[in-house]
């Protein structure tokens, strides 16, 4: 069965949505967590979709915020340098190509350097508009990044469709008043409006009211 959505802008998360960086993310975060004696499952449930300093604050709530900020910069540098195993999500390249001439943006918790490194490793083009960690004061699950992207594109949030994989990102999209398409095996548990296994199930076509997103 095919579902058709009408929209005026597409907002795309990066990690887990356009690129598969799971192996790198989980390896580096478990290395970070080991000296703190943190539970593996708790760490992996926390770190996806958020800025690193925020994950650290959740996992180590009594620790000084300045330490989290400092360690997050080191983590970002390592993540940007270690891109072996980072690949495109199936269908990502075709989806990005189909968005030519359509208002769209990447909205990611990564900083510019990390976004550039991972999109490059996955051989995907970077969108003209990208809302990265440097441009927001509140990380996902706060909707600030998605709302900022909608404003920059001149599109009402209700006319935006978000592609997201993580709980934090899906919550941010929902709270922004946008329609969320969950991507990947874990997305359905966070109750997006729609779900796809990967981006090969998405097709974009022009329409009189903007464009149509067809979910197969």
Catalytic residue of the set 15, 111, 142, 165: 15
- 208: Cβ contacts below 8 Å, ≥ 6 apart: none
The question of whether 20 is a catalytic residue gets the answer no
CB atoms within 10 A of CB 140: 28
Query: Does residue 82 have a cis peptide bond before it, meaning omega lies within 30 degrees of 0?
Result: no
How many CB atoms neighbour CB 128 within 10 A?
Answer: 9
Confirm whether 111 is a catalytic residue. no
Residues 13, 20, 111, 142: which is the catalytic one? 13
CA distance 147 to 194: 20
Q: Which positions are annotated as active-site residues?
A: 13, 15
């Amino acid at each position: 069965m095919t579902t058709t959505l009408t929209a005026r802008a597409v907002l795309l998360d990066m990690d887990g949505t356009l690129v598969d960086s799971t192996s790198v993310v989980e390896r580096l975060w478990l290395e970070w967590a080991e000296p703190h004696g943190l539970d593996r499952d708790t760490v992996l449930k926390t770190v996806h979709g958020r800025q690193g300093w925020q994950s650290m604050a959740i996992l180590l709530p009594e620790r000084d915020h300045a330490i989290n900020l400092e360690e997050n910069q080191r983590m970002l540098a390592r993540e940007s340098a270690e891109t072996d195993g980072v690949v495109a999500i199936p269908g990502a390249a075709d989806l990005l190509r189909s968005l030519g001439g359509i208002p769209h943006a990447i909205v990611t918790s990564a900083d510019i350097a990390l976004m550039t490194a991972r999109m490059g490793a996955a051989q995907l083009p970077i969108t003209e508009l990208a809302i990265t960690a440097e441009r927001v004061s509140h990380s996902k699950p706060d909707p600030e990044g998605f709302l900022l992207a909608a404003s920059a594109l001149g599109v009402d949030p209700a006319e935006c469709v978000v592609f997201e994989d993580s709980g934090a990102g899906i919550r941010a999209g929902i709270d922004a008043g946008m329609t969320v398409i969950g991507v990947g095996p874990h997305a359905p548990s966070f109750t997006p409006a729609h779900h796809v296994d990967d981006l090969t199930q998405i097709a974009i076509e022009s329409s009189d009211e903007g464009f149509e997103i067809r979910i197969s």
